[in-house]
Amino acid sequence: MTDNNDEIETLDPPAVQDAEARTMREMVKEAVDAKDADTLATLLEPLPLSAALRQLLALSAEDRDELLKLVPVELAAELVEEAPHAAATELVERMQPERAAEVLDELDSDVQADLIGEMETIDAEAILAQFSPEDAADVRRLARYEDETAGGLMVAETFSFPDTATVGAVLRGMVSEEDDFERYRGQHPYVIDADEVPVGVVSLRGLLTAKRSAKLTSIMVAPLTVGVTTTLDELQDLFDEHNFLGLPVVEADGRLVGVVSRSAVDNAALERSESESLKRQGVVGDELRAMPLWLRSRRRLAWLSANIVLNIIAASVISAYEEILTAVIAIAVFLPMVSDMSGCSGNQAVGVTMRELSLGIIQPKDAFRVWLKEVSVGVINGIALGILIGIVCWIWKGNPFLGLVIGIALALNTVLAVSIGGVVPLLLKRLKQDPAAASGPLLTTITDMAGFFLVLSLASLMMPLLL
C-alpha cells in the first residue's frame, strides 16, 4: 500500500499542476470567506499577475469584490490592469467609490480614462468625486478622445520642463522625484515654452554629458509631435519609421497634453486584431466566462438569432428546388462542398482587404479597383477548383454532366464570393460600420444561397442529362 507522497509522485506533471491549482483556489476562497487580508496577500503577491488574475476570476462576483477590498491597493490595481478591458471595468465599477479611486490612482491616466469612459455616468462621477479637481478634469478630458487615436492612447503625465530650465535642475528633479519618475518611462525630457508648446526634446545622454549650468535649449533638438486626432494606423507608421519609445501629443493649438508610447500603440493594434477575430467568430464584445451568465447568453443570442434568419433564407432556396433534389439525390452530396469552398475563398478576400485597410493601403473609394483585382483571382481559382471538383464528381458518380454542373457552379460562386469578400468591408467602412462583419453571416449566407441556387438551377436546366 502506497502512502500519499508515493501517490503524488506517480501523477504526471499536468495532474500535479491541476491539484495545486485546486488547492490554491480553495485557500484563496477560505481566506476571502475569513476576510483574512494577510493570507490573501501572502498567497497572491508571489504569483505571476496572470496566475493571480485567474484566481480572482475563478471566484463569484461577490467574492471578487471582497478580495479586491482586502488585498493591498497596489495589488488590486495590478489585477485590474492585467484584466481584459470589460472585466476590469466591471471590477472597478462594483467597488465602493473611495476604494475605486484609490485603485485608479495607482494606474496611468490613459488606463484611468479607458475605465471611467466605459462606466455608467453615475458610477464614473461618484469615483471622480474622490479625485482632486485637476486629476478629475484630466481623466474627463482623456475619456472624450476616440479610443484608437493618439488622444485616446496617450498618458497625460509628461516629462516636461520650461525652456528656462538648466540641465542641473532637470537632473535634481529626476533624483528627488524618483517615485514619480516611473510614470515617465519611455519619455525623454520635453522642453516647453510659456504657452506649453513643445519646442524641443532632450536626450538622456545629452543631459548626462552636458554641463549642469547649461540651459536645456542649448542641447535640445526639434521634437516630432502628433495631434490628438492622429489615428492608430498613422501612429504605427510613425513608430515604424522612427526608433522612438514615445511621441509628444499636442492639441490643435500646439499645447502639449500628453505622450503616446510605442507599447501603447502596439497593445492597441493587438487588441484591435483580437477584437476583429472575435467578431468574425460571432463573439460580440470582450467576453469572459467570469462574466454574468445572462450577459454572455444575451450577447451570443443577438448574433445567433440573426444567423437563424439568414439560414432560413438559404434553406428556402433548397426548398424551392426540392423536386430536383429528389430526382437527382447525388446533388445533395456536393451542395455543402460548393458553399464551403466558395466561403473559404471569400474569407481569403476579406482577410486581404482587412489587412490593407489596417495598413492604410486602400480606402473605401478604391472599391472598384479592389473588385477588379479580386475578380481576376476569382476567375483563375474558380476555373481551377471547378475543373478539379467536376472531375471528382464525374469519377465518383459516373456522370460527366453532373460534374459539369457542380464545376460550373463552384467556379461562378467563387467569383461571387471573392467579389463580396473583397468589396463589402470597404462599403461597410464607408458606412462607418465594422468591416469585420463582412466575414460573418453576411458572407456565409450569400455564398450559401448563391451556391445552392447555381447548383440547383443548372441541374434543372440539364435534368434530362443527369437522370
395/400 Cα distance (integer angstroms): 8
Q: 2: pLDDT confidence band, cut at 50, 70 and 90?
A: very low
Q: What pLDDT was estimated at residue 303?
A: 66
For 437-464, the DSSP string reads: GGGTHHHHHHHHHHHHHHHHHHHHHTHH
CATH 3.30.60.50 for the 14-148 domain, yes or no: no
pLDDT in tens, 417-438: 999 989 988 888 888 777 766 5
CB contact at 8 A, 365 and 437: no
For residue 130, how many other CB atoms are within 10 A of its CB? 17
Q: List CB contacts of 81: < 8 A, sequence separation 6 or more.
A: 88, 107, 111
Q: Which residue has the higher pLDDT, 76 or 189?
A: 76
Q: 8: pLDDT confidence band, cut at 50, 70 and 90?
A: very low
Q: 315: pLDDT confidence band, cut at 50, 70 and 90?
A: confident
Q: What pLDDT was estimated at residue 291?
A: 64
Q: What pLDDT was estimated at residue 6?
A: 40
Burial class (CB in 10 A: 0-12, 13-18, 19+), 278: middle
Placement of cell 439560414 in the chain: 311
Q: Is the pLDDT of residue 74 over 90?
A: yes
Q: Is the pLDDT of residue 10 over 60?
A: no
Helix (H, G, I), strand (E, B) or coil at 60: coil
CB contact at 8 A, 180 and 152: no
Q: Is the pLDDT of residue 32 over 50?
A: yes
Pairing of strands 160-162, 226-227: unpaired
pLDDT in tens, 257-288: 989 989 889 988 887 776 666 666 555 556 55
Query: In the structure grid, which three cell numbers stand for residue 259, read together?
Result: 505622450
Average per-residue pLDDT in the chain? 83
For residue 166, the cross-strand partners are 215
Q: What pLDDT was estimated at residue 408?
A: 94
For residue 192, the cross-strand partners are 162, 198
Domain boundaries, the chain: 14-148, 160-280, 293-466
Q: 16: pLDDT confidence band, cut at 50, 70 and 90?
A: very low
Q: What pLDDT was estimated at residue 448?
A: 86
**Residues 181-210: what's their mean pLDDT?**
82
- How much of the chain, in percent, has pLDDT values that exceed 70? 84
CATH C-level class of 160-280: alpha beta
| Residue 238 backbone class (left: φ over 0; alpha: ψ -120 to 50; beta: rest) | alpha
Which range has the top average pLDDT, 184-193, 215-224, 315-324?
215-224
For residue 409, how many other CB atoms are within 10 A of its CB? 30
Q: 300: pLDDT confidence band, cut at 50, 70 and 90?
A: low
DSSP 254: -
Lowest-pLDDT range, 189-193, 330-334, 387-391? Answer: 330-334
DSSP 216: G
Dihedral of CA 124/129/131/132: which sign?
positive
At the fourth CATH level, the homologous superfamily of domain 293-466 is SLC41 divalent cation transporters, integral membrane domain (1.10.357.20)
Pairing of strands 190-192, 226-227: unpaired
65/80 Cα distance (integer angstroms): 12
What are phi and psi for residue 383, nearest 5 degrees?
A: -65, -45
According to DSSP H, which parts of 58-118 are helical? 61-70, 73-82, 85-93, 97-105, 109-118
396/330 Cα distance (integer angstroms): 10
pLDDT in tens, 205-258: 888 888 888 988 899 988 899 999 999 889 998 998 888 888 999 998 999 998
| pTM (predicted TM-score) | 0.61
Pairing of strands 246-250, 226-227: parallel
Q: What pLDDT was estimated at residue 1?
A: 40
Query: In the structure grid, which three cell numbers stand for residue 465, read together?
Result: 442529362
Lowest-pLDDT range, 74-78, 140-144, 375-379, 408-412? Answer: 140-144
pLDDT in tens, 40-67: 999 999 999 988 998 998 888 899 999 9
102/287 Cα distance (integer angstroms): 26
Q: What pLDDT was estimated at residue 438?
A: 56
- 14-148 and 293-466 have identical folds: no
Query: In the structure grid, which three cell numbers stand for residue 427, read together?
Result: 462599403
438/426 Cα distance (integer angstroms): 9
Q: What pLDDT was estimated at residue 279?
A: 62
**Residues 27-48: what's their mean pLDDT?**
92
pLDDT in tens, 332-388: 888 888 988 888 898 888 888 887 887 678 888 889 999 999 999 999 999 999 999
Instruction: Write down how long the chain is.
Output: 467
- How much of the chain, in percent, has pLDDT values that exceed 90? 31
Q: Quick one: which H or E segment has residue 256? A: strand 256-261
